[in-house]
Amino acid sequence: MIQKLLSKNCNTHGQDSSYFLGWQEYEKNPYDPIANPAGIIQMGLAENQLCFDLIESWLENNPAPAGFQEDSALTFRDLALFQDYHGLPAFKKALVNYMGRVRGNRVRFDPNNLVLTAGSTCANEILMFCLADPGEAFLLPTPYYPGFDRDLKWRTGAEIVPVHCSSFDDFRITGAALEEAYHRAHKRGLTVKGVLVTNPCNPLGTAMTRIELDALIEFVVAKGIHLVSDEIYAGTNFAEPGFVSVAEVIADGRADSARDRIHIVCSLSKDLGLPGFRVGGIYSENEAVVSAATKMSSFGLVSSQTQYLLAALLSDEEFTEEYVAENRRRLRGRHDALVRGLRAMGIECLESSAGLFCWVDMRHLLSASTFDGEMELWKKIVYQVGLNISPGSSCHCDEPGWFRLCFANMSEETLNLALRRLQAFVDSGRDSPNGGGVGQRPRRQFVAHWVLRSAPSSKSER
């Protein structure tokens, strides 16, 4: 009886996608090299585990900040009591310097325009609360991170209208696609408040070109709407063409009329590989947004202990320079290994220069060029091959057959094992007629699992 008396928010858990089902399967049977070598390998988690050793050695050499050793500027007392939503000044300063460094020092950020939040999940939601009233919409180019359906819409009541991007254009955002989405939104009676992009892109791993950025800016200027640039993968850019932040476009003076409608989301979860620390931020030149977001950050403040520790870490310029370079090197190595390995079995990836994953083209492995076909292939890969990868449909991709595979959350050996397993699967597919069309049994299995899909996931999935 009492269950009926809960709110709508309580009853819709905002997480109904096959994407999360893969997680569930992985949790039931996780791969471990010793304890469970036949288990499912997690390739659906965009986490950067490649450079923990660098952070560990920094911590060992710099025990003072973690241990609250008092320095002249800050005492333990100040830390324990510190809950000012303006954030620890030393940390914000160090963080904006790091943000600049990761953008090749081509831009400088002002700490007064930065709002700290407990992770970028919190930042994205706060921005939605600040920019959109319930029922208003944001345009999101597809494919996009599945978590946005939950993070941007759940409590805010905002709507998402997809901007259709196609493999024909390498999934680049075009002015035409933006216009089409805008008109579609209007047809639905929705007021469009802005566009939200991830750059570098999740799940594609690509960095936006100057042409794309210009088209985007032109569009938001023409429509007089906001632009949210989620740049949490900024530090994972490892190759040319380099990543161009929307901040650079502003600094170049090419977006003057829209300066106060452009907002950047940042985080330390991807490049520094510290998602557990829960550090994110909103950067904006719009005073009203900064003011409102700062107050809302009360609901997701970063622990003072963490701010203090990371202030010390990020202020060590020698360390951050070394870290950024080494991180890029290792990411590139891992990326290239995955691309090479896949190519050797006839599978191509979208060319990418950033991110913790590849956008893989498995269209030729589908028994039918449909989303059912994609689901069928995905099931086989999860259950038979033992790899949890993310199907493109969960990212709202318009074309079946694309998958996101993560490469930075495992050891080299595990990655090689994953490639071997996939190779075996592809080879067996070549030897026998490919699945013989869609049979009854896979369909029933698919349906049964699909119906049971509303399971909670306890980890983040970016």
Partner 1 sequence: MRLIVPLQAVAQGRGGLVLGSLIPCALFYFLQFYLRRHRPSSSSSPPPSSSDSNLSELTSMHRSFSRNLLSTRGSAGPSCISSRGAALARGDDNPYYVGLKRCAEDPYDASSNPDGFVQLGLAENRLSLDLIRDWLVSNWKDSLLSEEQELSVRGLATYQPHDGLMELKMAVSEFMGHIMQGSISFNPSQLVLTAGATPAVEILSFCLADAGNAFLVPSPYYPGWDRDIKWRTGIELIPVPCRSTNNFNISIPALERAFNQSKKRGVKVRAVIVSNPNNPVGNLIDQETLIGLLDFVTEKNIHLISDEIFAGSTYGNDQFVSVAEILDVENFDKSRVHIIYGLSKDLSIPGFRIGVIYSHNENVLAASSKLARFSSISAPTQRLLVSMLSDARFISEYLAINRERLQNMQALFVDGLKELGIKCASSSGGLYCWADMSKLIGSYSEKGELQLWDRLLNVAKVNATPGSTCHCIEPGWFRCCFSTLEKSDIPLVMERIRTVIQSN
Q: Hey, which residues between 13 and 32 contact partner 1 (CB under 8 A)?
A: 13-16
* DSSP of 165-211: --GGGTT---HHHHHHHHHHHHHTTPPEEEEEEESS-TTT-PPPPHH
Which residue of 33, 36, 71, 80 would you call a contact of partner 1, by CB under 8 A?
Answer: 80
**Phi, psi values for residue 333, rounded to 5°:** -60, -45
* Nearest C-alpha neighbor of 160 from the set 201, 124, 195: 195
- According to the binding rule CB under 8 A, does residue 277 interact with partner 1? yes
The nearest distance, CB 428 to partner 1, in angstroms, is: 27
Which residue of 92, 93, 172, 226 would you call a contact of partner 1, by CB under 8 A?
Answer: 226
By beta-carbon proximity to partner 1, the closer residue of 37 and 76 is 76
* Nearest C-alpha neighbor of 131 from the set 233, 265, 301: 265
Q: Which tokens sit at 365?
A: 């492995």
Which residue of 9, 112, 411, 428 would you call a contact of partner 1, by CB under 8 A?
Answer: 9
Say how far apart CA 76 and CA 98 lie, in whole Å.
25
Q: Specify the stretch interacting with partner 1 by CB under 8 A; choose among 34-42, 60-68, 166-174, 345-353.
A: 60-68
- According to the binding rule CB under 8 A, does residue 304 interact with partner 1? yes
One of 149, 151, 230, 271 is an active-site residue; which one? 230
- According to the binding rule CB under 8 A, does residue 436 interact with partner 1? no
Site size toward partner 1, by CB under 8 A:
100
Is 41 known to be catalytic?
no
**Phi, psi values for residue 162, rounded to 5°:** -75, 145
The helices-and-strands tally (H runs, E runs) of the chain is: 17, 13
Sheet holding 402-406, edge to edge: 348-349, 357-361, 402-406, 390-391
Q: Hey, which residues between 397 and 426 contact partner 1 (CB under 8 A)?
A: none
Is 323 known to be catalytic?
no
One of 19, 26, 145, 323 is an active-site residue; which one? 145
Beta strands 390-391; 402-406: pairing state: antiparallel
Q: Which tokens sit at 101?
A: 């460094």
By beta-carbon proximity to partner 1, the closer residue of 151 and 212 is 151
- According to the binding rule CB under 8 A, does residue 440 interact with partner 1? yes
Which residue of 25, 136, 212, 230 would you call a contact of partner 1, by CB under 8 A?
Answer: 136
Is 230 known to be catalytic?
yes
Surface-to-core class of residue 362, CB atoms within 10 Å of its CB (0-12 exposed, 13-18 middle, 19+ buried) = buried
The nearest distance, CB 186 to partner 1, in angstroms, is: 11
Say how far apart CA 275 and CA 118 lie, in whole Å.
10
- According to the binding rule CB under 8 A, does residue 279 interact with partner 1? yes
Is 232 known to be catalytic?
yes
- According to the binding rule CB under 8 A, does residue 8 interact with partner 1? yes
Say how far apart CA 46 and CA 60 lie, in whole Å.
27
- According to the binding rule CB under 8 A, does residue 447 interact with partner 1? yes
Q: Specify the stretch interacting with partner 1 by CB under 8 A; choose among 24-32, 57-65, 318-326, 417-425.
A: 57-65
Residue 332 is classified by DSSP as H
Q: Specify the stretch interacting with partner 1 by CB under 8 A; choose among 22-30, 91-99, 131-139, 233-241.
A: 131-139
- According to the binding rule CB under 8 A, does residue 83 interact with partner 1? yes
Q: What residues are annotated to the active site?
A: 145, 230, 232, 270
